[in-house]
Amino acid sequence: MDQKEINIKFFQKLIERYLEGKATSEELKLLINYYESFQKENNWVEELGPENSIKEKMLFNILDTIKEQDKPTTPRVIKLVQSPIFKVAAAASLLLFIAYIFTPNSFNTNGTETNVPVVESTISTGTHKAILTREDGSTVTLTKGTNYKSSNISSNGEQLVYNESSPPKDTPGYNYLTIPRGGQFVLLLEDNTKVWLNSETKIKYPLAFVPGEPRVIDLIYGEAYFEVSPSSDHNGATFIVNNDNHKIEVLGTAFNVKAYPDDINVITTLVHGKVGINYQNENYLLLPNQQAVLNRSNNRITFKEVDVFYETSWKDGRFSFNNKSLKEIMTVLSRWYDFEVVFKNKSIENEKFVGVLGKNEKIESILNNLKSLEVINDFQFNKNKLIIE
């Protein structure tokens, strides 16, 4: 084996480690060097698209991964990659192909749009929107770019803020905040607890909490991330989240609850602090980086260690998937983009993926990427129905 063949094999190994999310910062830097030297000896693969913009995307992605790895507290992120990792003979073509398919948006590093084919549809990217139901039953539509203000409530169209203006009643009134499909919103409660609300979510909460009493809210359905104001700031009052007969009690912590009505599981993920879970008169303690999974079909709770990044990044503008099926991914995307998905080819529903997608990405770009990868044969829109073949 000559030196050139050795270089190619080593180059391919680096690519595999990059795709698997195992490459160190030094290996990623070496990968860039190998790419640059290898490209001087090879012609561009025309089928991959415009040479300069794709090169820029690839280098930007790897440099971005290097920056993320250099932050010790930041979880490693890889682009949406099919699992198990696919292999082809030509290492350079593989890397360029991956750069073309798995870039999280359709722009190069200069901010200009590249020539990625797009199928037009009526599906829009999600945005900030919510419906506030007041104590008297009246409703207020909150949308991005519009302001709302009442006696102790204000909104800038992205966040709803409650300020205590008078001593609360012994039996305080309640408000509801409903996030439709294709929406998201942030709620700042009167006790300074901050709640991020995902698409298709409904929450019930008091206008103000009674001093000395537990602070109780109801997650009626959907997904919410909580940063709870500590009990030490409220005379020891605990904070309780109810979902059906499933109760989560905290002192001051950050956690995520996912409880969609069409999901068989209610999933609670603890980021930091401690939470107690009460279900059917049984008490459980959840520790950081642990997840409690309540199976509603058999009423059993199981616990496991997780990377909380994949469970909570939705609130920071990313969809993160760790060994999730295409069907699970499409369920998440359908809530954000507000479409119904139909699989004509049932055999691809359970193919597993790892990766990250930006929430501002157009759904057409995501689907075109999957089509180019030959994960799906084709797709089409019929009003708000997405048909995958």
Please give the chain's pLDDT, 389 residues, in tens. 554 555 556 666 666 666 666 667 666 656 655 554 444 444 444 443 444 444 444 555 555 555 555 554 433 333 454 443 322 222 333 343 333 333 333 333 333 434 434 445 578 899 999 999 999 999 999 999 999 999 889 999 999 999 875 555 566 789 999 999 999 999 999 999 999 999 999 999 999 998 889 999 999 999 999 999 999 899 899 999 999 889 999 988 999 999 999 999 999 999 999 999 999 888 999 999 999 999 999 999 999 999 888 899 899 888 888 778 889 999 999 999 999 999 998 888 888 877 777 788 888 888 887 787 677 889 999 888 999 98
CATH of domain 128-311: 2.60.120.1440
Going by C-alpha positions, the residue among 54, 9, 17, 51 that lies closest to residue 34 is 9
Which pLDDT score is estimated for 200?
Answer: 97
Instruction: Please report, as a single letter, which amino acid is at residue 182.
Output: G
User: How far apart are alpha carbons 15 and 87 in whole angstroms?
Assistant: 10
Sketch the domain layout of the chain as residue ranges: 3-102, 128-311, 319-388
Is residue 261 packed enough to be buried (19+ CB in 10 Å), middle (13-18) or exposed (0-12)?
exposed
Tell me the residue type at 180.
Answer: P
Q: Rounded to an integer, what distance in angstroms lies between the CA atom of residue 205 and that of residue 4?
A: 66
Q: Residue 107 has what pLDDT? A: 32
pLDDT of amino acid 11: 61
At 39 the pLDDT is: 46
Residue for token pair 């909570």: 312
CATH 3.55.50.30 fits 319-388, yes or no: yes
Pairing of strands 148-149, 201-206: unpaired
Instruction: Provide the whole-model pTM.
Output: 0.71
